[in-house]
């Protein structure tokens, strides 16, 4: 057994065998804290969780997912041993054998086809330490340019827009505690009530204190139930709607001239563009009545304070960056940012959607939100890592484009950690086909996911109860998640697995960590001076202060709960107003495909469902995807509630159970995306990509529907 593996095994046996205590939910970006309890009897242990009353964000709330989050982690069906593909079946093997196989296969592929022939695919639920390490592993151990992650499908449009407009991307510019200070709030394309239920309290409180809430969503949802004004926009027409609002704001004098003059550039161009916008056309395109657009603009324009929040409904489009930038225009024109109760928030979906996008697992990125094509950034990180700058690879391609490169035969080997691209990618048939072509696929996961089924080696990774590390939750607050339970069987911590593979590849000297905290301490140095500067944070401070907001550039710095109070992130300190031309979705309803499909989450499930489908308490409540359709539309097609429909797009057909919903627009159907195989709605979705951020157009494609 090699020394490195021996040290890892020794650490595992030194860890306490039984632990309970405080940890954090593995699911959405709120990161509610919880206490794990173990009740032991002679034969079995029973686990349960309870909310943590001292949680700084949720005051001890957990949603149904959080209350059942531990169930998948203690599931008997967890992977417990390394598995090697032998023909159509798996053989359990030792770590030595699995690592020898992995090292041999990766070396062979890189020797034959070049370093970039191996790709790495990460996830937005990994800890900051693992995101950081995965980026370093790709660039230093494999020396491949091909690394990206599933957060590309989650936050990239909001991040792209914030970087362009503000010069910096932190999901929420203000802490949630400031929400009740807002007098008008716009919630666009976000269903907080189902996706982040424990923060609804902030919006309810705001409303009870006189705030007006405007929801922009094609569907009536639990979130729109608290709205004073609900604009049921047609999927894909947000930018047109906002152009109408901006026009009203300029024409009726709601522009904060002093703010615009002192804090922004680009007003003249935006004003000129808005002169050419027709309110009637904005209404016709968006499906929202002109009076409602005027009213929304008036409410937001007249309010003394206000905030705008966006999420995937606005962002998951081939024009996602432009859509978000138009909402940022709204915030800037009215001067509603950088003050208490004034700001913008991208409601991140994944557990570590924020930290996951900061520390180097994106194709174009290095830690601290540095850029891999920037010579100074390259030199700094190369020095931290102790490698020559010229050995760092250049920029790679985005997640879906990496799959296309596999399909073309340019990438021959892939390592997937904490992700299930066969379910979560658009046009997922192509993903299945491409991954099946790989000469070597290594998957590290908790269960045999749809992606893992295609693997040549499957390694048992760590669940949230076992995996220590930091997470940056949706506010930009960095928190420590403590391990509260030992690993099952021969499973290993995800970061340890990366170190072991690096050792096998002869690069172990760069990966000699003994704890997640050691990785974090290196991340702190790597992020120093970057946009997302964590250098003033220590585990001890994060615990004591219940998290810290970045940037936090030194150990005496209090962190930055509110961004942009005095200047924006661009070198001149000014934000960029920009004219946004509405662009139609890449597919519009037509003769052959007369309806619009939009996708999203339901309360009981998370992402590709690997964890929540393995939680009977959740899965039994929502066991299969339902197609929500307006009863009148269903009647026209001949569908009955509870019956089945065949839904087809240009990319495929699937069969779904029908659920009547008078709460949805008549031309639109909604299907959740948490299932694989012949229930995978992403077999139908459109892989058209945003030109700036490479976000696919998940949120709208044209479909045909027939009884089935």
Determine if 385 is a binding residue for ligand SF4 (CB under 6 A): no
CB of 58: closest distance to ligand SF4 in angstroms? 7
CB of 62: closest distance to ligand SF4 in angstroms? 4
Considering only 8, 63, 211, 607, the residue that binds ligand SF4 (CB under 6 A) is: 63
Q: Helix crossing, 375-385 with 516-527: angle to 10°?
A: 150
Check whether the bond before 551 is cis (ω within 30° of 0): yes
Considering only 8, 36, 49, 62, the residue that binds ligand SF4 (CB under 6 A) is: 62
Determine if 325 is a binding residue for ligand SF4 (CB under 6 A): no
9 vs 35 by CB, closer to ligand SF4 = 35
| Stretch of residues binding ligand SF4 (CB under 6 A), selected from 25-33, 91-99, 127-135, 502-510 | 25-33
CB of 325: closest distance to ligand SF4 in angstroms? 28
CB of 199: closest distance to ligand SF4 in angstroms? 7
26 vs 218 by CB, closer to ligand SF4 = 26
DSSP line for 148-193:
EEGGGGTTHHHHHHHHHHHSS--SBSS-GGGGGG-SEEEEES--HH
Residue 611 structure tokens: 């964890």
Determine if 527 is a binding residue for ligand SF4 (CB under 6 A): no
27 vs 166 by CB, closer to ligand SF4 = 27
Determine if 31 is a binding residue for ligand SF4 (CB under 6 A): yes
Q: Helix (H) and strand (E) counts for the chain? A: 24, 30
Rg (alpha carbons) of the chain, rounded to whole number: 24
CB of 34: closest distance to ligand SF4 in angstroms? 7
Number of residues that bind ligand SF4 (CB under 6 A): 13
Backbone phi, then psi, for 565, in 5-degree steps? -65, -40
Q: 35-42 long-range CB contacts below 8 Å, 24 or more apart?
A: 36/70, 36/465, 36/484, 36/485, 38/485
Determine if 28 is a binding residue for ligand SF4 (CB under 6 A): yes
Contact pattern from residue 173 through residue 212 relative to ligand SF4, giving x for each residue in contact according to CB under 6 A and a dash for the rest: -----------------------xxx--------------
Determine if 30 is a binding residue for ligand SF4 (CB under 6 A): yes
Q: Where are the beta strands (DSSP E) in 8-99?
A: 21-24, 33-40, 45-51, 83-86, 89-92
Are 671 and 628 in contact, with CB atoms under 8 Å apart? Answer: yes
Determine if 125 is a binding residue for ligand SF4 (CB under 6 A): no
Place of tokens 């982690």: 73
CB of 200: closest distance to ligand SF4 in angstroms? 9
Rounded-to-integer distance, Cα 21 and Cα 105, Å: 41
CB of 198: closest distance to ligand SF4 in angstroms? 4
3-state secondary structure of 411: coil
299 vs 618 by CB, closer to ligand SF4 = 618
Residue nearest ligand SF4 by beta-carbon distance: 66
Considering only 4, 8, 23, 25, the residue that binds ligand SF4 (CB under 6 A) is: 25
27 vs 344 by CB, closer to ligand SF4 = 27
| Stretch of residues binding ligand SF4 (CB under 6 A), selected from 26-34, 299-307, 312-320, 570-578 | 26-34
Determine if 65 is a binding residue for ligand SF4 (CB under 6 A): yes
- Strand-strand pairing, 33-40 and 45-51: antiparallel
| Stretch of residues binding ligand SF4 (CB under 6 A), selected from 21-29, 394-402, 446-454, 666-674 | 21-29
| Stretch of residues binding ligand SF4 (CB under 6 A), selected from 59-67, 229-237, 260-268, 549-557 | 59-67
Rounded-to-integer distance, Cα 525 and Cα 537, Å: 10
| Stretch of residues binding ligand SF4 (CB under 6 A), selected from 24-32, 101-109, 140-148, 177-185 | 24-32
- Please name the residues in contact with 367: beta carbons below 8 A apart, sequence gap of 6 or more: 132, 135, 358, 359, 360, 381, 523, 526, 527, 530
- Please name the residues in contact with 442: beta carbons below 8 A apart, sequence gap of 6 or more: 102, 413, 414, 415, 416, 455, 456, 457, 458, 459
Residues in the site for ligand SF4, rule: CB under 6 A? 25, 27-28, 30-32, 62-63, 65-66, 196-198
């Amino acid at each position: 057994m090699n020394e490195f593996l021996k040290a890892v095994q020794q650490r595992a046996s030194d860890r306490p065998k039984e632990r309970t205590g405080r940890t954090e939910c593995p699911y959405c970006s709120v990161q509610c804290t919880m206490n794990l309890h173990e009740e032991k009897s002679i034969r079995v242990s029973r686990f349960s969780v309870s909310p943590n009353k001292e949680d700084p964000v949720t005051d001890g709330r957990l949603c149904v997912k959080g209350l059942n989050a531990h169930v998948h982690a203690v599931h008997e069906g967890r992977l417990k041993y390394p598995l090697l593909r032998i023909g159509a079946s798996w053989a359990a093997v030792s770590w030595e054998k699995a690592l020898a196989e992995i090292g041999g296969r990766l070396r062979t592929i890189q020797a034959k086809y070049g370093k970039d022939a191996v790709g790495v695919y990460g996830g937005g639920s990994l800890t900051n330490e693992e995101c950081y390490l995965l980026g370093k592993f790709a660039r230093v151990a494999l020396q491949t340019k091909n690394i990206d992650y599933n957060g590309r499908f989650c936050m990239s449009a909001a991040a792209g827009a914030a970087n362009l407009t503000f010069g910096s991307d932190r999901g929420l510019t203000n802490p949630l505690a400031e929400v009740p200070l807002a007098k008008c709030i716009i919630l666009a394309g976000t269903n907080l009530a189902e996706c982040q239920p424990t923060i609804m309290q902030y919006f309810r409180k705001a409303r009870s204190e006189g705030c007006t809430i405007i929801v922009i969503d094609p569907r009536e949802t639990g979130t729109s139930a608290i709205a004073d004004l609900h604009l049921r926009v047609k999927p894909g027409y947000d930018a047109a709607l906002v152009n109408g609002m901006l026009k009203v704001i300029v024409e009726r004098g709601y522009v904060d001239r002093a703010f615009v003059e002192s804090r922004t550039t680009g007003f003249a161009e935006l004003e000129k563009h808005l002169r050419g916008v027709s309110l009637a056309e904005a209404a016709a395109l968006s499906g929202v009545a002109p009076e409602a657009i005027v009213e929304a603009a008036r409410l937001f324009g007249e309010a003394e304070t206000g905030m705008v929040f966006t999420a995937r409904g606005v962002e998951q489009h081939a024009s996602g960056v432009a859509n978000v930038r138009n909402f940022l225009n709204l915030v800037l024109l009215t001067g509603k940012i950088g003050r208490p109760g004034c700001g913008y928030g991208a409601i991140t979906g994944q557990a570590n959607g924020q930290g996951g996008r900061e520390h180097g697992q994106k194709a174009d990125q290095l830690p601290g939100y540095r850029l891999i094509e920037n010579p100074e950034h390259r030199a700094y990180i190369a020095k931290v890592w102790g490698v020559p700058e010229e050995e760092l690879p250049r920029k790679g391609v985005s997640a879906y484009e990496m799959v296309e490169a596999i399909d073309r035969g340019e990438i021959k080997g892939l390592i997937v950690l904490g992700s299930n691209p066969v379910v979560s990618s658009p046009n997922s048939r192509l993903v299945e086909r491409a991954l099946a072509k790989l000469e070597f696929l290594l998957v590290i996961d908790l269960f045999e996911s749809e992606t893992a089924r295609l693997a040549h080696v499957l390694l048992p990774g760590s669940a949230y109860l076992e995996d220590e590390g930091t997470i940056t939750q949706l506010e930009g607050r960095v928190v420590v998640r403590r391990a509260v339970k030992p690993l099952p069987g021969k499973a290993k911590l995800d970061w340890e697995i990366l170190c072991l593979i690096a050792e096998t590849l002869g690069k172990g000297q760069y990966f000699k960590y003994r704890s997640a905290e050691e990785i974090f301490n290196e991340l702190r140095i790597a992020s120093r001076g970057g946009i997302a500067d964590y250098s003033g944070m220590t585990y001890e401070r994060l615990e004591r202060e219940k998290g810290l907001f970045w940037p936090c550039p030194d150990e005496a710095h209090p962190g930055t709960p509110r961004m942009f109070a005095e200047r924006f992130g661009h070198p001149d300190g000014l934000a960029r107003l920009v004219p946004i031309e509405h662009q139609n979705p890449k597919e519009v309803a037509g003769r052959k495909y007369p309806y619009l499909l939009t996708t999203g989450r339901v309360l009981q499930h998370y992402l590709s469902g690997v964890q929540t489908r393995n939680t009977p308490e959740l899965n039994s409540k929502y066991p299969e995807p339902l197609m929500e359709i307006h009863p009148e539309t269903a009647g026209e097609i001949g569908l009955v509630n509870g019956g089945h429909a065949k839904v087809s797009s240009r990319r495929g057909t699937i069969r779904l159970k029908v659920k009547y919903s008078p709460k949805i627009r008549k031309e639109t159907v909604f299907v959740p995306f948490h299932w694989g195989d012949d229930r995978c709605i992403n077999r139908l979705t459109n892989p058209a990509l945003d030109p700036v951020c490479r976000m696919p157009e998940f949120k709208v494609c044209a479909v045909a529907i027939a009884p089935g």
